[in-house]
Copies of this chain bind each other. A is one copy, B any other.
Amino acid sequence: MKVAILGYGNIGRAAEMAVKAASDMELVGIFHHDDRIENIDADVVLVCTPTREVEPFASLLAKRGVCTVDSFDIHGEISSLRKTLMPVCQANKAVSIISAGWDPGSDSMVRALMSALMPDGTTYTNFGPGRSMGHTVAAKAIPGVKDALSMTLPAGKGVHNRHVYIELKDGYKFEDVKAALLRDDYFAHDKTEVELVESVAALNTTAHGVLIERDGIVGGHEGQHLDYGMRIDNPSLTGQFMVSCARAAVRMRDDGRYGAYTTIELAPIDLLLGGKEDIIKSLV
Residues in chain A within 8 A of chain B (CB atoms): 14, 17-18, 21-22, 75, 78-79, 82, 99, 102, 104, 106, 108-113, 115-120, 218-221, 223-233, 235-237, 239-241, 244, 262-269, 271-273, 276-277, 279-281, 283-284
Contact = CB atoms under 8 A, between A and B. Distances in A.
A113 B268 contact: yes
A269 B264 contact: yes
A80 to B, nearest CB: 10
Contacts of A237: 117-118, 218-219, 224
28 contacts: A21-B120, A75-B284, A108-B283, A109-B268, A110-B113, A110-B228, A112-B271, A115-B272, A115-B283, A116-B244, A117-B237, A117-B244, A119-B273, A218-B232, A218-B236, A218-B237, A219-B237, A224-B231, A224-B232, A224-B233, A228-B228, A263-B284, A264-B268, A264-B280, A264-B283, A265-B269, A266-B267, A267-B267
Identify the interface centre among A120, A228, A241: most chain B CB within 10 Å of its CB. A228
A21 B106 CA distance: 28
A61 B224 CA distance: 33
Contacts of A224: 230-233, 236-237
A116 B268 contact: yes
A86 B173 CA distance: 71
> Could you say which of A17, A75, A263, A264 has the most chain B C-beta atoms within 10 Å of its C-beta?
A264
Nearest to A212: B228
A118 to B, nearest CB: 7
Nearest to A255: B257
Contact of A283 (B21, B111, B227): B111
Contact of A236 (B112, B115, B219, B267): B219
Contacts of A227: 227-230
A111 B109 CA distance: 12
Contacts of A119: 21-22, 240, 244, 273
Contacts of A244: 116-117, 119
Given A112-B269, A219-B235, A236-B219, A280 B117 contact: no
A222 to B, nearest CB: 10
Contacts of A117: 102, 106, 230, 232, 237, 240-241, 244
A104 B283 CA distance: 9
A175 B235 CA distance: 59
Contacts of A263: 284
